[in-house]
Structure 1
Amino acid sequence: MTRNGELSRHEGRNMLRFERRLRHPIAKAWRAITDPEHSKQWFPAAMHTELKQGATILFVFEGDDGAPTKGTITDFEPQNLFAFTWEGEVLRWELREDGDACVLVFTHIFDDRAGAASFATGWEGCFTALDQLLADEKITEAAPYGPRHDEYVALFDLARGESRETEDGWEVRFERNLTKSQSDVWALLTDSTPAVGEEPPLRFTTGYVQVGPVTAVKERELLEYSWEGGAIRWELRPGNGGARLVLTQTGTSAQADQRATALGAWHVHIDLLAQWLRGETPCWPEGRVEALAEEYAQEYTEQLNLS
């Protein structure tokens, strides 16, 4: 069985699936998953509940003074199935015997596709801690988050941008969960926050677009500047495990031939940003923008033919 999580669609939502063989009897694994005194050692939050179908769960994070988040147990079959909601998401733990061991099948259903790599990386850390708990070992810190997160970005094809028609032309859009905070990302992108009317900092730009002055700015959250066909807008928001980047570029109908290049250029630029955030010093990949632009142009042509 693969160690990687699998991402698919399920009834209009996103579903992560993991399958793990646990080298322990099913009764011990069941206790580790459902007993609050055990689960709080490896699960993201302490779960306060009565173990029965229909019961409410209160999720409490250590050191968080805010109100607990809530869920409901939707399925409960001792030693086989434990499923519950958590703020609208669905978590399902299924166990089956496998000799003197057992197999765990875990699924997580959610809406935020851009957060899938973060979810997958986080659950892998939880599974490592669960393995250590079952083996009566000290629970250690998870492996470095950034590299594994970005492996999942590639595996789940989360780096790709999308485009749409607008009333005046077109828009390309990228949404990407990053592995550092908004402050860290902003500090990497610029030494000082520019004022409206000034040139945008170099790392907010790509050599494939002739840029104009900054038109809007809010430190650590927003930078927008003009180009000859419209606007380029960087937005940073809180995300899962780091900042969430939403980058858009608009253009006119007369510049439709530049859309695919914009997609290719920003795709490469954000990939390089992710590498910078991992502490690497990447080189610009020669020919990569042009190759991606061809892919995006082909996708757009196929969409037109289907419409």
Structure 2
Amino acid sequence: MTDTELLTDRDRPAVKVERRYDHPIDRVWRAVTEQEHLAQWFPFGADLELRAGGKADFGEGGTGEVLEADPPRFLAFTWGDDKLEFTLAEDGDGTLFTLVHGFDDKPGAASFAAGWELCMGALAEVLADRKPGEAGRGVARHEELASRFGLDRPQVTTTADGWTASFERQLTCPAQAAWDLFFGGPGAAPGPGEEFRAPQATAVLLGVVVECDEPKSFAFAVAADEPGEEVRLRFGEGTGHGARLFLEVAGTDPAELDAAVEQWGDGAIARVAAEAAKLDA
């Protein structure tokens, strides 16, 4: 059994989660395809018509289509725009179950993976004829996977005019909570025209605010002694774990790029993500 992976060698990102169950393959197949069992471990439950072109109904979670069904070894179906694959293989007197979830939202990969791990833990209970308990949100595991998948790193673009480092980080708290963490507390964000100082080191002037719309967006012109020339922050809708943080820092001096990535990625964003995770403790 391999650890949970982020697959990047497909036409779009996917997460792969694998578990071994001490039950025969036919029993596991029933648990991952029959409505009465899916209702106990699969998000929203599911009613799957096990034939190519069959309907996949996830109740309040929407609909999809069965793409392929090969009992008791393989099932592929869509869920909205996403694709799921279930692969079952005999492993001694047990079964190796592999779930692959393909999607377009790469920054949400850790959230999807952590969620499936919780679901597959619940599946173990279903197979043991026990009622799954409260699974929690898997916040610590989310943060571990976000780091291991490299989701805390920026996308960097360079042109003849300069560079831009763009971060998109899934958080584990709502936008207002993340906003307060970023600025060091409720009501701490400065308004347009005011100085913006580092919340953790107020002697450090980061720049002058040009935009502030709590808890949605914030922008400032970077002070002369700091890396970059403009920073723009935005909080938007993310996965079920919480809000999505978008931060873009731009500059013209190539020598400042690494310092800017360290300051905002390894510094501010990492701090907000870590403190957001603690809110769930």
Same-fold call, TM > 0.5? yes
Checking the alignment, whether the CA contact within 8 Å between 2:151 and 2:169 is kept in structure 1 is: yes
Shift of 1:90: 1.1
**Other-structure match for 2:248:** 248
**Other-structure match for 2:139:** 146
Secondary structure class of the residue paired with 2:207: strand
**Other-structure match for 2:190:** 194
Out of 191, 205, 211, the residue aligned to residue 206 of structure 2 is 211
Out of 256, 259, 263, the residue aligned to residue 257 of structure 2 is 259
Distance 1:103 1:230, change over 3 A: same
**Other-structure match for 1:221:** 216
1:35 has 2:30 as partner: no
Amino acid at match of 1:250: A
Q: Which moved more, 1:87-96 or 1:42-51?
A: 42-51
Shift of 1:12: 2.8
Q: Distance in 1 between matches of 2:11 and 2:204?
A: 36
Unaligned runs of 5+ in 2: none
Q: How does 1:10-89 map to 2 (within 5 A)?
A: 10-61=9-60, 69-89=62-82
Distance 1:6 1:126, change over 3 A: same
Q: Distance in 2 between matches of 1:164 and 1:213?
A: 24
Distance 1:209 1:157, change over 3 A: farther
Shift of 1:6: 1.1
Secondary structure class of the residue paired with 2:195: coil
**Other-structure match for 2:174:** 181
Q: Distance in 2 between matches of 1:186 and 1:196?
A: 16
Q: Distance in 2 between matches of 1:160 and 1:207?
A: 26
Q: Which moved more, 1:162-171 or 1:72-81?
A: 162-171
Q: Distance in 1 between matches of 2:5 and 2:219?
A: 36
Shift of 1:51: 2.4
**Other-structure match for 1:302:** none
Unaligned runs of 5+ in 1: 62-67, 281-307
Q: CA RMSD in A?
A: 2.2
Q: Distance in 2 between matches of 1:207 and 1:268?
A: 19
Deviations 1:119-163 (A, max 9, x none): 110000000100011111221122552211111012112111232
Checking the alignment, whether the CA contact within 8 Å between 1:145 and 1:179 is kept in structure 2 is: no
Identical-residue share of aligned pairs (%): 36
Distance 1:207 1:115, change over 3 A: farther
Shift of 1:207: 8.6
Q: Which moved more, 1:222-231 or 1:149-158?
A: 222-231
Secondary structure class of the residue paired with 2:208: strand
Report the count of equivalent residues: 270
Q: Please, what TM-score do these two structures have when normalized by structure 2?
A: 0.88
Shift of 1:8: 1.9
Secondary structure class of the residue paired with 1:10: coil
**Other-structure match for 1:114:** 107
Checking the alignment, whether the CA contact within 8 Å between 2:197 and 2:205 is kept in structure 1 is: no
Checking the alignment, whether the CA contact within 8 Å between 1:206 and 1:265 is kept in structure 2 is: no
Runs of 4+ in structure 1 off by over 4 angstroms are 205-210
Shift of 1:210: 4.7
- Structure of greater relative contact order (alpha carbons < 8 Å, 6+ residues apart): 2
**Other-structure match for 2:86:** 93
Deviations 1:288-307 (A, max 9, x none): xxxxxxxxxxxxxxxxxxxx
Checking the alignment, whether the CA contact within 8 Å between 1:73 and 1:84 is kept in structure 2 is: yes
